[in-house]
Structure 1
Amino acid sequence: MLYQLFELNHAALSPWRAAAKWGAAALGHESHPLYGTELGRTLAASCEFFETSTRRYGKPEFGLSETKIGGVTVPVCEEVVHETPFCRLLHFKREESLVPEDARSRLMIVAPLSGHYATLLRGTVEALLPSHDVYITDWADARMVPLSEGAFDLDDYIDHVRDFCAFLGEGTHLLAVCQPSVPVLAATALMNEDGDAHAPRSITLMGGPIDTRVNPTEVNNFATAQGYDWFASNVIMSVPWPHPGHGREVYPGFLQLSGFMAMNINRHVTAHWDYFTHLVDGDGSSATKHRDFYDEYLAVMDLPAEYYLQTIRRVFVEHHLPRGLFAYRGRKVDLTKISRTGLMTVEGEKDDISGVGQTLAAQVLCKNIPDDMRAHHEQEGVGHYGVFNGTRWEEEIEPLVSAFIKRQDARA
């Protein structure tokens, strides 16, 4: 019922959003009698603030049309190279004739399926493009997937990782940001144990919940305290008509966004008040920066209920992976079988989602990886988002990740 009420409220506000958008445009036109006055700017800012605060934010674009390699501008073309009902594999294809041999390592970024679109990793992709042939998993919004396509759970996620590795071929490197660290590690263990030639050459796990018993955060404590049954009873809803996925059980994106916002509510309130004052003062540059961030941050997607609930139970409540209990379709996942894949772990000193030590735990669990195929980095002064986006990522973390990948290529 809550999902239906959310949709009804959004529809009910549509005429008011349209009026606010028209009002902001009218007040911003020099022919309007209030144009340029403090009252006019305040009214226009109020209209724009209402419209941006109540709209539904659609899926953003990556918008990466070029990169620079050795000072040379190289065109980039985004293409879908493989697709399932629940995920597209995107390739950022560079003009091959302009790419040197040492910048051709194949890297698949496994984006989190945790509420935001893969475009949240735009900065991650952009920084890696000069050094790698980059692919990314572009997960589908569950409310857009017809019920006839079946369910999607944690085992299906692992299947996708394995299938995409097979599609890309030998020598592929994986980089998992946050949540996919667990299924990527599991898939790697299975491929190593099977002697699969398509097992990744290396995996880089960034801010991932490998063992949430280590240095638990507020998010981890909440999951443990509430338990699996609370989530199953309180946050799973049915997609309403007329969405293509109507009838599918999901964890709605608007609930996830509410949780994200609540964690740092004071910061978000301050940011929106600053945005309003920037609009009134005519500070277009600051207002644009706010819009750019929140256009991405407020664009959310629904998660398949089966996948979400299994992740809650097996990763955050019962800690299957570090306890040696994790299973894939009834088969035990043995992390000690990983011996042919390099492992790098990256953490942020101030990460309030995956605490320091939770990702490092993978290094302890994967006992049979040779020392020269391992690396760990803890970045000072960054939180969860700063591990894979921003200045510290671009200038300090990415060079270490790329260097590690090149070392694994040199070993092959």
Structure 2
Amino acid sequence: MNLAYYWYEAAFAFARPARTVSNATRYAFSIPVNPLSYTAYGRTISAACELFERSTRQYAKPEFGFGAIEVDGRRITIRERAVWEAPFCRLIRFERPGLRRRQPKLLIVAPMSGHYATLLRGTVERFLATHDVYITDWVDASAVPLSAGRFDLDDYIDYVIAMLRFLGPDAHVMAVCQPAVPVIAAVARMEAMDDPASPRSMTLMGGPIDTRESPTEVNRLAQERGIAWFRRNCITKVPFTRSGFMREVYPGFLQLSGFMAMNLDRHLIAHHDMFQHLVKGDGDSAEKHRAFYDEYLAVMDLTAEFYLQTVEQVFVEQSLPKGGLLHRGERVDLSAIRRTALMTVEGERDDISGVGQTLAAHRLCPRIPEELRDHYLQMGVGHYGVFNGKRFVNEIAPRIAAFIDRVDAIRNGEGEQRPAPVRVGARPALTVVA
């Protein structure tokens, strides 16, 4: 049995006394009554203690923490409420009491790939003033008791279908990274069943629709090692310290270690820079570092069956583009999609989902009318920049919002003065910003 999880928990337990001493030392060298706190020596001791504490901490699930936003010149308080719930997911709505104007419903499907939905805080924040936003809040598998049953790729697709039915036929769905595959599969199944709740549009962002296009190191690793290697080396059981005791999972800390190893030099430099900021007394720069890594280092576990099925079907077998992906025994036929509009978004420097992998969705969905398609390639951004950061806020998000508005205008039949359709043919024209 893979005992990695037990060793991981033991390491944190053994480090607890040292963390206590480190925290006390940091406090002693940072309180104003200690003259040494005003010296470079005192700040160096305090900085070293903080980095040690942060390096040996288990990070809790972050909060979205939206206070209020301005809509139409008014300050409106944001209230989070779970409106739909299942063992492995909650659907959160960001309610804005007092807002009377009806806005498009937008379901943001967050990645179930090791981080919490709060990783998309910036994505959500950008649409709060203009859309009625919902997001999937996936539950850490280590917190779900065995009695709740399994959760695999079929269940993921079922969850997406159930949430879209809950929201109704006028919703739009956005999939960020990993959920691009289950979301397009869910829409295809709904369209094949002539489900009236099929979404008006789906936006796929940096997702592995066809990993044969511009394969990345992540794709090559899956191909080279095969599913047996991942089962043998990545799957372990939840220890007795957690509610999901004995559930087989792919631990979040393994996923995180893989992500960090890909850009280890950047993370080492970032922590070195934070140390220097603390020594110099640059609190603002240090706080930015804390905010980013409080989010980045907070990870969740995935069920083993979902993880292994995703690796096998998406990355090894490439079942979706080859026409072999099944949902509950039925083939997922992307050519069934004809009413739901499709927009794809990619980043030029994406090292997780290479350029062309998400664009492939257009080729695989030939029955979508040309006026209901769009594709956008953002230059100068990597994977994270596809859904967060200044270029997302200023360049990508406005195009997504415009696409949703255009689809709504077409569906609502607002006269003959419709925006000019995007002529795409088999492969849509690229919209590129330098």
Measured against the shorter chain, the TM-score band is over 0.9
- 1:316-335 maps to which residues of 2 (within 5 A)? 316-335=315-334
Distance in structure 1 (CA, Å) of the matches to 2:336 and 2:330: 14
Question: Which residue in the other structure is 2:419 paired with?
Answer: none
Question: Which residue in the other structure is 1:227 paired with?
Answer: 226
Give the residue type in structure 2 aligned to 1:79.
R
Question: Which residue in the other structure is 2:101 paired with?
Answer: 100
Query: What fraction of aligned residue pairs are identical, expressed as a percent?
Result: 58
Question: Which residue in the other structure is 1:34 paired with?
Answer: 36
Query: Residue 78 of structure 2: SS of its match in structure 1?
Result: strand
Question: Which residue in the other structure is 2:51 paired with?
Answer: 49
Distance in structure 1 (CA, Å) of the matches to 2:152 and 2:255: 18
Question: Which residue in the other structure is 2:15 paired with?
Answer: 13
Give the residue type in structure 2 aligned to 1:308.
Y
Question: Which residue in the other structure is 1:77 paired with?
Answer: 79
Distance in structure 2 (CA, Å) of the matches to 1:133 and 1:65: 16
Question: Which residue in the other structure is 1:66 paired with?
Answer: 68
Deviation by residue 1:189-217 (Cα, 9 ceiling, x = unmatched): 01001000111110000000000010001
| Unpaired stretches in structure 2, ≥5 consecutive residues | 412-434
| CA displacement at 1:5 relative to structure 2 | 0.7
Question: Which residue in the other structure is 2:118 paired with?
Answer: 119
Give the residue type in structure 2 aligned to 1:86.
F
Query: Residue 255 of structure 1: SS of its match in structure 2?
Result: helix
Deviation by residue 1:89-132 (Cα, 9 ceiling, x = unmatched): 0000012x43534xx10110000000000000000000011111
Deviation by residue 1:55-100 (Cα, 9 ceiling, x = unmatched): 00000000112222233322211111111110000000012x4353
Query: Residue 369 of structure 1: SS of its match in structure 2?
Result: coil
Give the residue type in structure 1 aligned to 2:327.
Y
Structure 2 residue 327 is the aligned partner of structure 1 residue 313: no
Aligned residues of 1:202 and 1:408 also touching (Cα < 8 A) = yes
Distance in structure 1 (CA, Å) of the matches to 2:73 and 2:231: 52
| CA displacement at 1:410 relative to structure 2 | 1.2
Which structure 1 residue ranges, 4+ long, deviate > 4 Å from structure 2? none
| CA displacement at 1:31 relative to structure 2 | 2.1
Query: Residue 173 of structure 1: SS of its match in structure 2?
Result: strand
Give the residue type in structure 2 aligned to 1:297.
Y
Give the residue type in structure 2 aligned to 1:98.
L
Distance in structure 2 (CA, Å) of the matches to 1:33 and 1:133: 53
Distance in structure 1 (CA, Å) of the matches to 2:353 and 2:407: 26
Distance in structure 1 (CA, Å) of the matches to 2:4 and 2:208: 29
Distance in structure 2 (CA, Å) of the matches to 1:270 and 1:99: 48
Distance in structure 2 (CA, Å) of the matches to 1:377 and 1:70: 28
Question: Which residue in the other structure is 2:421 paired with?
Answer: none
Query: Residue 138 of structure 1: SS of its match in structure 2?
Result: strand
Distance in structure 2 (CA, Å) of the matches to 1:403 and 1:94: 22
Distance in structure 2 (CA, Å) of the matches to 1:100 and 1:167: 21
| CA displacement at 1:33 relative to structure 2 | 4.3
Give the residue type in structure 1 aligned to 2:165.
A
Query: Residue 10 of structure 1: SS of its match in structure 2?
Result: helix
Question: Which residue in the other structure is 1:174 paired with?
Answer: 173
Question: Which residue in the other structure is 1:274 paired with?
Answer: 273
Distance in structure 2 (CA, Å) of the matches to 1:293 and 1:183: 28
Structure 2 residue 135 is the aligned partner of structure 1 residue 136: yes
Aligned residues of 1:192 and 1:199 also touching (Cα < 8 A) = yes
| CA displacement at 1:37 relative to structure 2 | 1.5
Give the residue type in structure 1 aligned to 2:50.
E
Distance in structure 2 (CA, Å) of the matches to 1:358 and 1:258: 24
Question: Which residue in the other structure is 2:150 paired with?
Answer: 151
Distance in structure 2 (CA, Å) of the matches to 1:193 and 1:75: 40
Distance in structure 2 (CA, Å) of the matches to 1:21 and 1:410: 58
| CA displacement at 1:23 relative to structure 2 | 1.2
Aligned residues of 1:69 and 1:99 also touching (Cα < 8 A) = no
- 1:161-200 maps to which residues of 2 (within 5 A)? 161-200=160-199
Distance in structure 2 (CA, Å) of the matches to 1:107 and 1:22: 46
What is the RMSD computed on CA atoms of the aligned residues? 0.9
Give the residue type in structure 1 aligned to 2:389.
G
Normalising by structure 1, we get a TM-score of: 0.98
Deviation by residue 1:8-29 (Cα, 9 ceiling, x = unmatched): 0101111111221121111111
Distance in structure 2 (CA, Å) of the matches to 1:390 and 1:374: 25
Q: Which moved more, 1:30-39 or 1:195-204?
A: 30-39
Give the residue type in structure 2 aligned to 1:338.
I
Aligned residues of 1:314 and 1:320 also touching (Cα < 8 A) = yes
Q: 1:24 aligns with which of 23, 26, 34?
A: 26
For these two proteins, the number of residue pairs brought into alignment is 409
Question: Which residue in the other structure is 1:339 paired with?
Answer: 338
Distance in structure 1 (CA, Å) of the matches to 2:160 and 2:26: 46
Distance in structure 1 (CA, Å) of the matches to 2:33 and 2:406: 63
Distance in structure 2 (CA, Å) of the matches to 1:35 and 1:298: 29
Give the residue type in structure 2 aligned to 1:55.
R
Give the residue type in structure 1 aligned to 2:276.
T
Question: Which residue in the other structure is 1:255 paired with?
Answer: 254
Give the residue type in structure 2 aligned to 1:363.
H
Query: Residue 377 of structure 1: SS of its match in structure 2?
Result: strand
Distance in structure 2 (CA, Å) of the matches to 1:25 and 1:411: 61
